[in-house]
Amino acid sequence: MPEPRDSDSANGRARSRAGDSARGRDSERCHTLEVGGEERARLAALEAHPAVAAARAELGADRRAWLVGGAVRDALIGRPFEDVDIVVAADPRGLARAIARRLGAVAFELSREFGQWRVQPRAGGGWTLDVAPVVGSDLADDLARRDFTVNALAVPLTTPTRICDPTGGLSALRAGIIELVSPYAFRDDPVRLLRLARLRAEIGFVPSEGTRARARQDAALVASAPPERLLQELRRLLAACDPLAGIELLAECALLEHVLPDLAALRGVEQSHFHHLDVYEHTLEVLRCLLDLERAPQRVCPDADASAALARVLAEPLADGFTRGTAVRFAALLHDIGKPATRAVRPDGRVTFVGHDEVGARMTLALCRRLRTSERLARFLADLARHHLALGFLVHERPLDRGRVYDYLRRCEPVEVEVTFLSCADRLATRGRNAERAIAAHLDLARELMAAALAWRAAGGAPRPPLRGDELARALGIAPGPQLGRLLESIRRAVYAGEVSGREEAVAYARRLCADQQTDAD
């Protein structure tokens, strides 16, 4: 299901069609302002949008259509946008279909209950245009039902230099402030509580003190929001340019306990002398280091081609709208959630978290079930939690031969690239005793393993054995079963290590393994 817009009518508000009642009243109630200078120039980006141009052509002189919501906000602050919302004082179906015909796009009903239609290119991706009826008696009533004043701005489709601003959104936008349209906005749609943090992360605006106070007061309401919508807001928060600001706002407004309780539970959990921060602050530092590595991947991939390959991997779509990179950011927040349950203090005073990786993987799966993620995203996040220590365990075993590299890649598959990247951020965020020496050793090995992981991913995983399982079974005179599976896996490892290169060598290698096993049994 497509995710709701910032100002989507599906956000728990009661909608009613206005029809012709919106005629002539909007200029009286909407405080229409003429903008100039840089703001006027920025609004030209709205006019240039292909769907907006098509809508203007279809409507002609009809003045009962307005651009609203996030696209108006983003255009005014010079932020790129692709998705546009239009409200009309008429049936949106005809306009949506006409725009689609003009652009060779597709139009479909997004919400029968709320009368919304969507237009998008036939191939998908790129831009979208949502067309919805005006809510309430007129445009001013519609805008008064939205979430934040910066999202309650409307631009007449026929006069894109004028802004309808009944809630003071333009002043808030100019000041970089997020202000509630109504003190009841969070109660009308609790998802807006998480959207507040998402906007903080996306556009950098700061909520007013009154808005923060209202968020703290209404924080518990977010538990009643549909998990699927919370997940999409969380995804957009994590994908933003400053996700840490969003996470910090969630904590400040007492929302973290309701949205990500396992993360909130990390506060105050002290660690060993290898760390300089408690588990919660360390987790935020891991995310910070991960963002730094995204901007400077050469620390892990000194080769330009390898850096480009890593960027392509992180940009790949994964599931639930997440890219692999955004999912790794999510995993950075979850990788240590198993620590509170496994914390122990030895007689010598040393703090340990034995098994926190496996416990964290199980907790991650449970969290994903609460958020109703896809199975693919859940497994991806759980695998990163499960294997985030794997590289660190190998640091003191260098140099690694090809067989040991194979074991690492096989163990971490299918997240061998992503977990190597995450482990570097984890290590960079750990600055206790002997930190600099430990970080240097970790990164040195990570560069080797990242190169191997990228090559492994490009090759499609483990190498194929030089012969099929049935062929090996006949050559050895053994029946299909677990033993045959183990032998084939050993051959794959030997091929990767350069110890086996052909069919005959593979059979001879398997015979030696069988003989060694028999000797051990005797």
Tens digits of per-residue pLDDT, 170-221?
A: 999 999 999 999 999 999 999 999 999 999 999 999 999 999 999 999 999 9
pLDDT for 458: 95
pLDDT higher than 90, residue 56:
no
What pLDDT, on a 0 to 100 scale, did the predictor assign at position 316? 96
Domain at 1-175: CATH code = 3.30.460.10
The confidence score (pLDDT) of residue 6 equals 46
Residue count (the chain): 522
DSSP for 438-493, please give it. HHHHHHHHHHHHHHHHHHHHHHTSSPPPSS-HHHHHHHHT--SSHHHHHHHHHHHH
pLDDT tier at 18 (50, 70, 90 boundaries)?
very low
Residue 64: both structure tokens together? 């009962």
As a whole number, mean pLDDT of residues 270-285 equals 86
- The residue whose two tokens read 């991997």 is 313
What integer pLDDT is reported at residue 30 of this predicted model?
Answer: 65
The answer to whether 145 touches 102, Cβ cutoff 8 Å, is no
Q: What is the pLDDT of residue 143?
A: 92
Whether this model's pTM surpasses 0.85: yes
Q: pLDDT tier at 520 (50, 70, 90 boundaries)? A: low
Distance CA(327)–CA(374), nearest Å, equals 12
Amino acid letter, 278: D
Structure confidence at residue 272 as a pLDDT band (50, 70, 90): confident
Query: Can you tell me the mean pLDDT for 378-397?
Result: 96
Using an 8 Å Cβ cutoff, are 407 and 394 in contact? no
- Check pLDDT > 70 for residue 16: no
Kindly indicate the confidence band of residue 447, based on its pLDDT and cuts at 50, 70 and 90. very high
pLDDT number for residue 207: 97
Mapped onto helix, strand or coil, the DSSP state of residue 10 is coil
For residue 83, give the 3-state DSSP assignment. strand
pLDDT digits (tens, 9 = 90+) for 294-342: 999 999 999 999 999 999 999 999 999 999 999 999 999 999 999 999 9
Q: Could you say which architecture CATH assigns to the domain 177-259?
A: Orthogonal Bundle (1.10)
Express each pLDDT in 62-107 by its tens digit: 668 899 999 999 999 999 888 899 999 888 898 899 999 999 999 9
Listed by start position, the domains of the chain span 1-175, 177-259, 269-459, 469-521
| pLDDT-derived band at 4, boundaries 50, 70, 90 | very low
pLDDT band at 521 (very low <50, low <70, confident <90, very high): low
